[in-house]
Structure 1
Amino acid sequence: MKRTLISLFLLSTLTISIFGWGFSVHKIIAKTAIERLSGPSLGYFLPLESQIMIYSTYPDEHQDFEAGTAHFMEIDFYAEPPFDNLRSKIENYMQTYGEAIGRGHGYAPWAIDKYYHLLVEDIAINSPDVPKIAGILAHFASDINMPLHATVNFEGQMTGQSGIHGLWESAIVDKRFDQSMILPTRISTVTDIIDASLENSKIAWHYAQSLLAIDRSEKALFEQLSKDSLISSISYENILWDSTKWIAAVQITRSVEFVSTLFQMAYNESKNYIPKAESRPKIVIFKISSNGNDQYVAIRNAGEKSVNLKGWKISNGEGKYFLFENDFVIDPGRYILVHSGSDAKGLIWSNSLIWSSHGKAQLFDPDGNMVFEFVY
């Protein structure tokens, strides 16, 4: 219970830095990962390289994307080194205290797994979304290797080093790292993407401790030399870069290797992919009207086939649900409104107000899978 209260406090009071590598580094990683492929997979991804590079920064440009928590995995919240049985501890925690609380400490491994399987399917069906999905996958698979994304002390706030995340990521690494610094890589095969991602996160955690220790040491020396007027023209950013660029090189190389591996695996797996007899429905929430006493949520069928919404549910993200109990077919391109409030009319959820001035709405299919989330 104590840990849950701490988690809730952190979620409500801290502004979590969701950024991992900077824009420049993310594009370098995506580009290098593609160019280090070989054979048919290289021939497939290379023409898409520029588009994938653009989408590799998409999650940072849309801060509400995947609720911002797909960029990191604070493993030391759930366990202590050597992080034995880490996955089961994370999953047990989410089952015990709720997935929303658990996700507040990151769920990058599960996001990587999700977008990997989306990429397999999109390659198999020749979807125009391949560059976007590949770029998003590359982003999260890269961020899992950013050292400060593996710890609750992501901003140095627990060790008197507040600001280290943005300083190292943006002011130092993103401005100084060059593609030529990437080390040799090899493409392998992983049997479980979530487990492989967690292993990367464990390694990143250890590099985070090195990075924080170096920063403390170098800053103390820099401040003393500055006090004694022994240095004047050397910036602290240059000093920290010289001391930590080896960490950047190792972890960015690890990012390239992981992204290359996932791209290669996705391409290979797509050749044996058997499309489902029925493609997944594309039902989306596109608007919430929270004003007045006739609120509504708007749902559209963005797919090419009619969908029966019987068994589907809408959630306001705060424990209130609307269930389509009876047959309700929505044709392609059509939309429906579900109303609430004292003046509600049409298809009515409740005569009480459901939506606050801001929040989110979630859509669940009959199997209980959340298929769409809308933040407003």
Structure 2
Amino acid sequence: MQIYDYFEKNKNFVNISFILLHQYTAMRFLLIITGFLIPNYLNAWGFYAHKEINRLAIFALPSELMAFYKPHLAYLQNQAVLPDKRRYIVKEEACRHYIDIDIYESYTKDIPEGWEQAKEVFTEDTLLKHGIVPWQIYKMTFQLKNAFQEKDIEKILKVSAELGHYIADSNVPLHTTSNYNGQKTNQHGIHGLWESRIPELFSEKYDFFVGRALYINDLRAEIWNNVWKAHSAVDSVLFYEKQASLEIPEDQKYAFEERGAATVKVYSRRYSSYYDNLLNGMVERQMRNSILMVASVWYTCWKNAGMPDLKNEQNIPELPIRKDKEEIADVSSDCNH
């Protein structure tokens, strides 16, 4: 009777509890079943690759500059992914990560490298719609140079970390085309396959010794050269994925993996390896190019700033990594240059 009386007196509470438990169970089941329907890799290069590119760039610097950056390695790694996190909160952030070369070329074959000239040709709204990554990178080189001149340690590190992110993005072929996820060619998911799945599975066998950073005489021209180089690989990226799809049976193309609390459908190791081999080292080359480019831009900005002596700053305590919301509040919410 006591149990009956308890349920009778608290039946509303009990009913609500059962409803909530049922909803939780249903939601968890839904995540497990449909996890593979949601893109598994939503970030350029993936968080892992972005962190590795910034980390390895430090070791390509000349000794004097490496001595300054190396104590802040953890900060530069962690902040490397902040621009991707910001994309889901600041709507204007996305345009800084890509450029739809094919769309720009539909207007004119000549894309001005200068921001003001580009605005005259395309209008600013068009630029923000179809991506501004090379202009964003060039703008930030001035920010880094100024930070070096001012010996503003926190600004140097923050700009360096985020600059590394955008440079890495500009080396991804699928960040230079409007067909960024194969949606126009029935190749949905290719974005994450190329820039996240393959590096996560196989980067341990890649050769990341890229030599020493180089001084770049013309930063803007070099930034654009890298973008055009990445864009020239778009056809191969798409073609070889089509070939891999034809040659690997559908039931061997995907696998299931545990990701946190969910079971997700991912490209299988066999399929990813086959595609990587067809690309003949392209992912490795673009990662290497990203590492060397990041290091070379950092070095060039430091040299353009007059090579300030930072040796007295190399042993300062590691800067605290602030919460995302605090970082986001520091960033202008527009894409204006």
TM-score (norm 1): 0.61
CA apart distance, 1:97: 4.6
Matched, 1:72 2:32: no
Distance 1:88 1:25, change over 3 A: closer
Q: Distance in 1 between matches of 2:113 and 2:76?
A: 33
Matching residue of 1:263: 298
Q: Distance in 1 between matches of 2:142 and 2:115?
A: 21
Distance 1:149 1:117, change over 3 A: same
Matched, 1:20 2:44: yes
Q: Is the 8 A contact 1:20 1:143 kept in 2?
A: yes
CA apart distance, 1:43: 1.7
Q: Distance in 2 between matches of 1:272 and 1:226?
A: 54
Moved more, 217-226 or 202-211: 217-226
Matched, 1:373 2:333: yes
Matched, 1:114 2:115: no
After TM superposition, the structure 1 = structure 2 runs for residues 1-376 of structure 1, keeping only pairs within 5 Å, are: 19-63=43-87, 64=89, 67-79=93-105, 85-87=110-112, 94-127=119-152, 128-178=154-204, 180-223=206-249, 235-244=270-279, 246-271=281-306, 372-373=332-333
Structure 2: 5+ residue runs without aligned partners? 1-38, 254-267, 309-330
Moved more, 206-215 or 90-99: 90-99
SS at match of 2:333: strand
Q: How many residues align?
A: 256
Give the AA of the match of 1:257: L
Once the two structures are superposed, residues 202-254 of structure 1 have per-residue CA deviations (whole angstroms, 9 ceiling, x without a partner) of 11012221111110111011137969xxxxx9742332233336011110111
Give the AA of the match of 2:138: D
What RMSD, in angstroms, separates the aligned Cα atoms of the two structures?
3.1
Q: Is the 8 A contact 2:95 2:132 kept in 1?
A: yes
Q: Is the 8 A contact 1:18 1:71 kept in 2?
A: no
Once the two structures are superposed, residues 136-185 of structure 1 have per-residue CA deviations (whole angstroms, 9 ceiling, x without a partner) of 01100111001111111111112221221122222332343237432534
Give the AA of the match of 1:237: S
Q: Distance in 2 between matches of 1:59 and 1:179?
A: 28
Task: Give the percent of matched residue pairs that are identical in Structure 1 and Structure 2.
Answer: 24
Q: Distance in 2 between matches of 1:219 and 1:180?
A: 24
Give the AA of the match of 1:59: P
- Identify, as 1 or 2, the structure richer in strand: 1
Q: Which has the higher contact order (CA 8 A, sep 6+)?
A: 2
Give the AA of the match of 1:117: F
Q: Is the 8 A contact 1:183 1:249 kept in 2?
A: no
SS at match of 1:178: helix
TM-score (norm 2): 0.67
- Identify, as 1 or 2, the structure richer in helix: 2
Q: Is the 8 A contact 1:146 1:204 kept in 2?
A: yes
SS at match of 2:131: coil
Structure 1: 5+ residue runs without aligned partners? 1-14, 228-232, 274-370
